[in-house]
A and B are shown apart, each in its own frame.
Chain A
């Protein structure tokens, strides 16, 4: 069976949620709920109650990044002079703790922020080629889109459900 995608645009979150709830109750076979996504101009306030809980792995990236940054700060910057031609300065020890603390702290934040951004890009799937996906400019304005990917038979059912919920427009395409 051919796999197709359909995008239905609704006026607001309530109508889109209603359509999604109907879709869930219809219990269509061969419809993987992970293939259902919402495209919206702002975040859906109750998206979890409609789509179910989905994982957000970013925080792991943050932890890894912060630890990497902190160790780079301590070993690479602050204490490294102890490995090179170390020279006494101002009566202080060669590896003094207050400056090391400051640098470790800063580098921890640096690492945390950079790797979080990297994690965000990876987890959100950016950069993304729009041409290889269904999209309508109305999504960035004020309409909420619901996109479903399934086999052609399911898509026909989905189309009927959408039409029952005052969908404003629909797009369909065959997935290669």
Chain B
């Protein structure tokens, strides 16, 4: 583990040879060994558990999930929002930090973008799982039919569908376009089926100035589009709740609150994946401790924004005159979900204070545990938004029922993590998880800066 030397530790060494960068990253794409297969099988088994639970639910009906009237949305919607939320920091790192020229993002944004894409794909599973009649999900698509019916675009769920479709396809395109020069590198160093694979993917990229020129502009333009898109996607997901009338949901600050929560859980997930990739592929030169330090500080900042918006929600309800909303809030804190609600507040607002201490930020074990805890807190947050409102809504007849999910719901949630793991592991072996050309750029510009400093 690197120790802090005199002077500031550098995000990356300026004297790394470019050929070295190629070699180190391409080494991660080699034929996988036993540990990889073991992990992949584990992820696959997790996924199979989810599939089995869903098969049972599909056959028997949604009643096996222990949902009822009025508790009609359970872990499926909560986990759906969790996965969509996790996808936002990929965009934060790729697009926002790119526009402000924060080049410390360069070694880590590729896997963050991949995390975005795969969490969106995982979220899509939950849309299907939570529907009563999954086999007719295509009714929600705008296609011409002889009944002259069209989906109801007044519904926030459909805005969700459009927004998430746009976000998923744009993220995939952004990831792919940004990886074209890397695929060219892979193509030049591969043999056999891999060579054909990368040849197709790299589209004959040769690094001519014409290609680079257009690449730069295209990348910037897509990044500029992705930022308002990312903000709008989670705001629209928030409006599933904010546009309804239910107490505890009908809150104006929900869209920014959700976006802050999304950035928060995504940054925590980036820390988790950072530590795992750094260890597995020995990327210590690229995914350096100063970069982890910066990511942790960014996570802390977002955690404070989230905490603020959370407290704003509580105080505006507390001081407002909406009696039912206030009762719902009190019930969250003192009712059957009190333990989970307080855990969420503790994990989301108190645990991030460990990120203030430099010693803890530099300790990989601590960071791993903290990032997992933060994500647990964020998952609990989504659940605490969905279920307690049903247990104490407007209508007194619905009160005093306590709803907890059944094993079917837990199984499917568990399986989704397996699915995500499978996709991510496939990604690690097929696509370079560190962006080689961007790291070269980073090294090049820092070298230039160092030379100018010396000359000055």
Contacts and interface: CB of A to CB of B under 8 A. Distances in A.
Instruction: Indicate yes or no for A touching B, C-beta below 8 A.
Output: yes
Interface residues of B, number: 58
A42 interface: yes
Binding site secondary structure of chain B: helix
B441 A107 contact: no
A114 B173 contact: yes
Contacts of B159: 99, 102-103, 106
A103 B162 contact: yes
Contacts of A59: 217, 221
Given A77-B162, A106-B163, A128-B203, A58 B222 contact: no
Given A117-B177, A140-B184, A140-B185, A130 B206 contact: yes
Contacts of B189: 137, 140
Given A43-B441, A116-B218, A124 B211 contact: yes
A126 B204 contact: yes
Contacts of B188: 137, 140-141
Interface in A106-146: 106-107, 109-110, 112-114, 116-117, 119-121, 123-130, 133, 135, 137, 139-142, 145
B45 to A, nearest CB: 37
Contacts of B203: 121, 126-128
Interface string B441-454: 10011001000000
A76 B143 CA distance: 11
Contacts, number: 179
A26 interface: no
Nearest to B162: A106
B414 interface: no
Contact of A141 (B185, B211, B225, B226): B185
Interface of A: 37-45, 47, 51, 54, 56, 58-59, 62, 76-78, 80-81, 84-85, 89-90, 92, 96, 99-100, 102-103, 105-107, 109-110, 112-114, 116-117, 119-121, 123-130, 133, 135, 137, 139-142, 145, 147
Given A38-B209, A117-B177, A119-B218, 20 more contacts: A39-B207, A40-B209, A43-B212, A43-B216, A84-B149, A99-B159, A109-B166, A109-B232, A113-B170, A116-B221, A120-B214, A123-B214, A124-B210, A125-B211, A126-B203, A128-B206, A133-B206, A140-B189, A142-B22, A147-B208
